[in-house]
Structure 1
């Protein structure tokens, strides 16, 4: 394998090195678009909204300095730049998959004790998952890590660097499969977290349109939640004034200062100085999903999670 990869590195000429800032999942997206011949079919194959795939493709093309596909009513055809990237990706991706498989076999052979490696985006049910695993397997070692990107977590599960990924998706969306099996764990209504002194804090519920003048806080992520939020706002008759992105602590600080309101799951105990108010009509829902590699030991233990 090492000799093969060394030879592979000589194939990656100067033109391909323009793509080295891309991640493997981006190359898989490009290959899927080429294989299916259209963004619509590729989005369905990847389990993505077509708009989300188009946005990702636009970012890839901007990073490479030119379009990868010519798109019209008949579908999507690779440009010369697209053909170049596809040729390199079709060599690189199988080689990386082989490398992951060999590394996994070596790692599995050296693991004597049962362990669970869990990666999660920001969400309120990590504690419940850890509790279930440690109860079902008291001898196991459980480790956790956070990553804002559900796609990064999916890649790590597929590469068997993680046993499980715990992610969220809005509405009926499903994370990009990338060879990962996803199972819904729960569905929560999206509520509003606001400061106690906010003028709407005393209401039993608030309509989304009542917050048309608000600034919004949001934690980072690569899913379609912002697009779904913008669509819900459009149905309520307004465009969001401003979205301030920060980590959870920063978002809470923005809420406490009165500078913004925050979209979140209906956690039972809001932080001191804040209140949780449900949105009338539940215009937004958040689904928690657990993912694992279908051929890993984690797949056998998934029903007990």
Structure 2
């Protein structure tokens, strides 16, 4: 019998489980079938890999040698399979450009700009509230580029081979109903909203914890936080049910205004990610440049953000890039 990859996985499973009974359950096999398979593997390798006892199995010296090799071989094969999948899914030409992004206007603005910058490309889009899911899709070769973000200086979603570059940093604003008592103010202190109920879009980063910490520094604990999609968030704000949190680039919406917070207690960092195996440097440079210009265009269409930036240009050095 020739040794196969599945045999190494079987040896690894028995060692991890510590008994043939538990290993058989995890592998979905009957114990007699697993015992017979182990005997065939041991004959092929020339000796016993495990000593059986009343309390399970104990690895022999030969077993330790084989297990040490599996710690190298199995991850290497897994990495080979993933890299091959990424390569197979990667576009061979510029005919297809697959973009991913979270909620907000930046993805649409990037698609618009790429239509002029890379006119031969056929662009497809995928949206997700999860930055980790976008990172996984990049790692698997199912996306070419992804627009994600992190709260403040938090690390971007991690996966081997991924590159993340900063597009821009925005302050986090609040959304109020146009008829809210504080709507006429140019800037709000977070403490003034201590009695509000809140709404935001979901995410798997640290924004929720950072928001709670900012409220604690302002001297209060949020009464309630609704996590919902953008349309429902806007509705809750419009009817006065909640105050929303948003990036400063949030587009103008009837019945809703956005306002900065004094001292900019929260920021959001926009990132563009890609995988080094599947993307050419020249294309990545082009897409990153277009993403930065797309952000500048989106920011220019927000009156409250434009006013905020202008006030800081007229004052001391700007707080954000």
Of 143, 146, 152, the residue aligned with 2:124 is: 143
Partner of 1:252: 234
Counterpart for residue 193 of structure 2:
211
- Contact 2:172 2:260 (C-alpha < 8 Å) held by counterparts: yes
State how far apart, in whole Å, the 2-side matches of 1:199 and 1:296 are.
52
The alignment status of 1:173 with 2:154, answered yes or no, reads yes
Match of 2:169 in 1: 187
Separation in 2 of the partners of 1:143 and 1:16? 44
Cα distance in 2, alignment partners of residues 171 and 246 from structure 1? 22
Aligned to 1:233: 215
Confirm whether residue 277 of structure 1 aligns to residue 259 of structure 2.
yes
- For residues 168 and 106 of structure 1, do their structure 2 counterparts lie closer, same or farther at Cα, with a shift above 3 Å needed? closer
How far did 1:240 drift?
1.2
2:111 is the counterpart of 1:130: yes
Question: Once the 2 structures are TM-superposed, how far is the Cα of residue 292 of structure 1 from its aligned partner?
Answer: 0.7
Question: Is 1:132–1:304's contact at 8 Å kept on the other side of the alignment?
Answer: no
Look up the SS of the partner of 1:189 in the other structure.
strand
CA deviation after TM superposition for structure 1 residue 150, in Å = 0.7
**Is the contact between residue 217 and residue 243 of structure 1 (CA under 8 Å) also seen in structure 2?**
yes
Q: Secondary structure at the match of 1:169?
A: strand
Give the corresponding residue for 2:269: 287
Say how many residue pairs are matched.
234
Q: Could you say which structure has the larger radius of gyration?
A: 2
User: Structure 1 residue 295: deviation in Å?
Assistant: 2.5
1:273 positional shift: 0.8
TM-score for both structures, normalised by structure 2: 0.65
Residues in 2 aligned to 1:220 and 1:93: alpha-carbon distance in whole angstroms: 33
Correspondence for 2:286? 304
**Contact 1:292 1:299 (C-alpha < 8 Å) held by counterparts:** no
Aligned 8 A contact 1:123 1:168 in 2: no
Unpaired segments of 5 or more residues in structure 1? 20-87
Distance in 2 separating the partners of 1:229 and 1:181: 27
Distance in 2 between residues matched to 1:18 and 1:251, nearest whole Å? 46
5 Å-filtered alignment, 1:45-194, equals 94-108=76-90, 111-112=92-93, 114-178=95-159, 179-194=161-176
Output the aligned Cα RMSD.
2.9
| Partner Cα distance (2:24, 2:263) in 1 | 50
Match of 2:178? 196
Farther off after superposition, 90-99 or 160-169: 90-99
